[in-house]
Amino acid sequence: MPTATLKIFLAYGDPKRLRTAELSNWIGKAVSGPRSEFDKILTREESLSSGVYFLTGTDPKTNKSAIYIGEAECVRDRVKSHLSKDFWNNITFFITKGENLTKAHIKYIEGRLIDIARSADRSIVMNSQGSGAKLPESDREEMEVFLGNMQQVLPVLGVEAFVLTSSIADEEQQEELLACNIKDLKAAGYLTPSGIVVLKGSQAVLEERESAKKWPSVLIQRNKLIEEGVLISKNGAFVFTKDVEFSSPSSAAATIHGGSANGLTAWVNSKGKQLKQLQIE
């Protein structure tokens, strides 16, 4: 992504309350705030414009992060119909300053965002079906630029449903791979801005450590991955069936080791240097 300057205005001085966000040299503008200030958000002039909106919260059935993605020719009128949905606790919407987005434009963006959110697999997408619209090539390219700018702003506003797991792209990055091994089992991963990704094919122990009885919380994510089929038993070990991003090296190491583990010492680079050494060099 290109470098960018982001201006955030805190309407009440509180970063958790109503706020707006704008990138320099961009026609887009975001408005975001908690459900508790829904009425205040809808009194803003921006809500009369056409745009794309996001309702974010937690799915009560699974306790996972959830998001609803919508489009509207008048954001204020459309989002009122979602008050019956109880999963969301925050609303964010994007409009353009001056020139309005057409119905085709916002439907195209909505469809692309639904696809991206499902691919990222960070949140449950509450939309029952996809959307989208066909655009002329020139319009499509303009909307892809608009979409890219939205993706830079959204995580800053706390909406991370569209953040794709980082990928290892070249030889230089390959050298940054870390290993977390135990007994004869091998796991590989790499650091990301959000934590650490354990790569597909990595192995984890089948048996839990005694420490797991004392600190059962460290195995919550491990058990969840087993239930979801992300960790499957194969040839005397659990194997990751896809790349998985963990919030910290220690939570990843705990999953691999089957019990409490210090990620700063469990993860090493190709030369055997521990992560804690690498972070102070």
Residue with tokens 């309702």: 55
Ramachandran sector of residue 227 (left: φ over 0; alpha: ψ -120 to 50; beta: rest): alpha
- Let me know whether 188 and 249 are in one domain: yes
Please give the pLDDT value at position 169: 44
Same domain, 42 and 152: yes
pTM score, two decimals?
0.77
- For 144, the domain range is 6-157
17 lies in the same domain as 152: yes
Last residue of a domain, one of 127, 157, 187: 157
In this prediction, the residues of the chain whose per-residue pLDDT falls under 50 are 168-172
Same domain as 100, residue 207 = no
Domain-embedded: residue 183: yes
Is position 165 within any domain? no
Last residue of a domain, one of 125, 157, 189: 157
- Other residues' Cβ atoms within 10 Å of the Cβ of residue 281: 5
| Cβ–Cβ < 8 Å for 130, 122 | no
Give the type of residue at 232: I
Residue-level pLDDT at 131: 73
Are 27 and 133 part of one and the same domain?
Answer: yes
213 and 142 together in one domain: no
Nearest one of 22, 145, 144, 131 to 68, comparing CA atoms: 131
* The pLDDT value given to residue 166: 59
Residue 99 and residue 66 share a domain: yes
Residue 192, in any domain of the structure = yes
- Is 162 within a domain? no
Quote the pLDDT of residue 170: 43
Q: Is residue 178 part of a domain?
A: yes
- 192 & 220 share domain: yes
Q: Determine, yes or no, domain membership for 84.
A: yes
Last residue of one domain, picked from the residues 98, 122, 157: 157
> Do 79 and 15 have their domain in common?
yes
114 and 10 in a single domain? The answer is: yes
Query: What does the pLDDT read at residue 230?
Result: 93
Domain assignment present for 267: yes
166 domain-assigned: no
**Looking at the structure, do residues 204 and 103 belong to the same domain, yes or no?**
no
* Total of domains in the chain: 2
Name 67's bridge partners.
Answer: 56, 125
Residues 37, 96: one domain?
yes
Q: How far apart are CA 114 and CA 69, in angstroms?
A: 7
